[in-house]
Structure 1
Amino acid sequence: MLTLHDHPRSGNCYKVRLFLALIGMDYERRFMDVLARKNQTAEFERISAFQQIPALVDGDTALWDSHAILLHLAHHYAPAWLAPLPRIGAMHAWISVSANEIANSLQPLRLTHVVSKAEAAHHLGVDEALLDMPGMRRRTERVLRRMDQHLAAHDWLAGSDAPTVADIACYGYLALAEEAAIDLCAYPAIAA
């Protein structure tokens, strides 16, 4: 049985829960109260080296990082969610967009709206005075424009005939964009 260490407000956890639902996998869900710092224990560090969620235990394998978990699940349980070989590079590139561009724009922007600015600063590892809200918004709009342009010409991010884990990786925070005061109606290809 798979065990997912999870928090219901985490976009990265949402990606994993969504994928598990899409592939029909049963799993045990363990609530991890990151706001109360319950993840900062030596016991949890044995599961998640950086004490971050999501973390997945699959038999003797413990994984952290939503993208590593998505790829593990696809490789072991749902290979149809991997791009065909000619598109595998595109799939990995879009997973990188999720880990970099989205993680450094939409993800922290949303965080500043769903928790206090002080709490957001703590989770982002910066002083509250260094939270650059206009910069986060500009970076978010840039990545959304680029994604929208790409999706206007392709049904799926990797350019495949079907969705891949890259679509799930990027979708996690796009689905929560409203919580960052972003209206996806301005990006019709993403909204579609």
Structure 2
Amino acid sequence: MLTLHDHPRSGNCYKVRLFLSLIGKDYQRSFVDVLARKNQTKEFERISAFQQVPALTDGDISIWDSHAILLHLAHKYAPEWLAPMPHLGAMYAWISVSTNEIANSLQPLRLTYVVNSAEAAHHLGVNEALLDVPGMERRTERVLRRMDKRLAENGWLAGTDTPTVADIACYGYTALAEEAAIDILAYPAIAAWRKRIQQLPGYVPPGLPVATATQTN
């Protein structure tokens, strides 16, 4: 049985919950209360090297980082979600966009809206006085404009006929854009792409329990 170490408000955890549902894999959820610092233990460090969620236990293997987990799951259980050549490079490039551009723009911007400034600063590893919300807003607009241009030209980010891991990687926080006060209708190609993902068999929305999962504390 797979075990997902999870927090329901995390966009990175949501990516993994969504992908597990899309590929029909049963798993159990272990809630990690990151706001209460329950992730900052030696026990959890043995599962997740940087004490971050999500982390996945698959038998004797522990994988941390949402993108590493998505790729592990795809390679082991759902290879149809991996882009074929010549689209493989584009798939990895857009996973990198999620890891870098989105993680440094939309992801922290949304955090400033869903928790207080002190908590946001703690999770971002900066002094509260150094929170640069206008900078996050500018970077968010830039990455969403680039994504919108790509999706206006391609149905899926890797340029494939069907979705890949890259789409799920970038969808996690894009699905939560409204929580960062973003009007997604200003990005019509992204809005249409989000609807395509929402229509996939097995789709689950963010923040809700998954019927196939067993939650543990």
The separation in 2 between residues aligned to 1:172 and 1:162, in whole angstroms, is 18
Letter in 2 for 1:88: L
The separation in 2 between residues aligned to 1:91 and 1:117, in whole angstroms, is 34
Q: Runs of 4+ in structure 1 displaced over 4 angstroms?
A: none
The separation in 2 between residues aligned to 1:85 and 1:64, in whole angstroms, is 27
Per the alignment, residue 103 of structure 1 pairs with 103
Per the alignment, residue 6 of structure 2 pairs with 6
Tell me, which stretches of 5 or more residues in structure 2 are unaligned?
A: 193-217
Per the alignment, residue 85 of structure 1 pairs with 85
> SS of 1:138's equivalent?
helix
- Relative contact order higher in (CA < 8 Å, ≥ 6 apart): 2
Per the alignment, residue 22 of structure 1 pairs with 22
After the TM superposition, which residues 45-124 of structure 1 pair with which residues of structure 2 at under 5 Å, given as runs? 45-124=45-124
1:178 correspondence with 2:198:
no
The separation in 2 between residues aligned to 1:32 and 1:2, in whole angstroms, is 16
> SS of 2:34's equivalent?
coil
The separation in 1 between residues aligned to 2:120 and 2:85, in whole angstroms, is 39
Per the alignment, residue 144 of structure 2 pairs with 144
Tell me, which stretches of 5 or more residues in structure 1 are unaligned?
A: none
After the TM superposition, which residues 27-46 of structure 1 pair with which residues of structure 2 at under 5 Å, given as runs? 27-46=27-46
1:153 correspondence with 2:148:
no
Displacement of 1:186 in angstroms is 0.2
Displacement of 1:129 in angstroms is 0.6
> SS of 1:139's equivalent?
helix
The separation in 2 between residues aligned to 1:147 and 1:21, in whole angstroms, is 25
* RMSD between superposed Cα atoms in Å: 0.3
How many correspondences in the alignment? 192
Letter in 2 for 1:48: S
The separation in 2 between residues aligned to 1:85 and 1:43, in whole angstroms, is 41
The separation in 1 between residues aligned to 2:183 and 2:65, in whole angstroms, is 27
> SS of 1:86's equivalent?
coil
Per the alignment, residue 163 of structure 1 pairs with 163
Question: Structure 2 length normalisation: TM-score?
Answer: 0.88
Per the alignment, residue 127 of structure 2 pairs with 127
The separation in 2 between residues aligned to 1:91 and 1:128, in whole angstroms, is 35
Letter in 2 for 1:143: V
Displacement of 1:85 in angstroms is 2.0
Question: Structure 1 length normalisation: TM-score?
Answer: 1.00
- The percentage of aligned residue pairs carrying the same residue is 82
The separation in 1 between residues aligned to 2:129 and 2:180, in whole angstroms, is 19
> SS of 2:57's equivalent?
strand
The separation in 1 between residues aligned to 2:151 and 2:191, in whole angstroms, is 10
The separation in 1 between residues aligned to 2:19 and 2:188, in whole angstroms, is 23
Letter in 1 for 2:158: A
The separation in 1 between residues aligned to 2:84 and 2:163, in whole angstroms, is 11
The separation in 1 between residues aligned to 2:54 and 2:122, in whole angstroms, is 18
Q: Deviations over 1:155-188 (max 9, x none)?
A: 0000001000000000000000000001100000
Q: Deviations over 1:2-22 (max 9, x none)?
A: 000000000000000000000
